[in-house]
Structure 1
């Protein structure tokens, strides 16, 4: 679907203010395209359209900005079609064009635009060495021990450490000194063992 076709579809059944905003975004994006530029970031489109009815970049990113994002992305995709470097990526979303139901196609395009933007933001803000696991909707940063850190924890659990300081292992995963005073709290050795096993 071309940006022109998408604009017509997006203008259906929306308020006048939204139609005007869509038209303003379309005009700014068209100017970018005519100039042969491929920068269709929300901040750029917002800056170029300042005072012309284009909302702030944050407003475009908001939930209510879905139609604006879809329209901007349609220009970006249009440029990408002509860019051989992006042909491989484009192949991942070609199937959207095969959807015959126009409204369903728009909805899917919106979702694809949101996914692409989410991936871009994650890539932008996530350090390259960070691993994020998704668990029940929560993002968890996981790190692994390096060799020295692992050896240090293993030493705390070793007989060498216990004997050197005249300690003894308690029956509750704790460590006691010669006066039977607790040096490591209950379950400390159990926790160290689990940490070494899972990280």
Structure 2
């Protein structure tokens, strides 16, 4: 129930308009009042600055961040009147995302745009991680696409299930040869201290752990 001691938003608007000022300020106050009226009539009790800021910005009245400025006290007073008139937010009401609340407090549009991009990338990576967690089997192959030592056999990627295909004698011989010191030296390659394969210039041909992975497949 609405308390009788609470001024109706119409009364608050009349008081604010009576203060006078520039025409565009008075027009914005009136437009803000109309937006809040429609918002309240829709059944919403959420009159936070973030929520109202999105509404006024969507209709091109003003930028949502303006509501946080010191000069926007009249706008906030009118929004507060509507918040008191509508009553407290119910438990079912949707709460604005914390990230949006944070963005709305950034006044510099360039910095806000950068932060919005970063938050978007974070959400995208978080979704990808959740997708990977839901996978029952993930194929792991960190070798550069299309790159292998001259004459070396192509190794099928292993999976998290631990299953390894049976190797034929010729396949086993090819794998053993691909990581042998003599073979690597003849082709201008060598094995690094962490199992990576590098060329004469020290550039990595196969990533760290490559030689060790071959030996694990071979069981040597």
Q: TM-score, normalised by structure 1?
A: 0.39
Structure with greater Cα Rg: 2
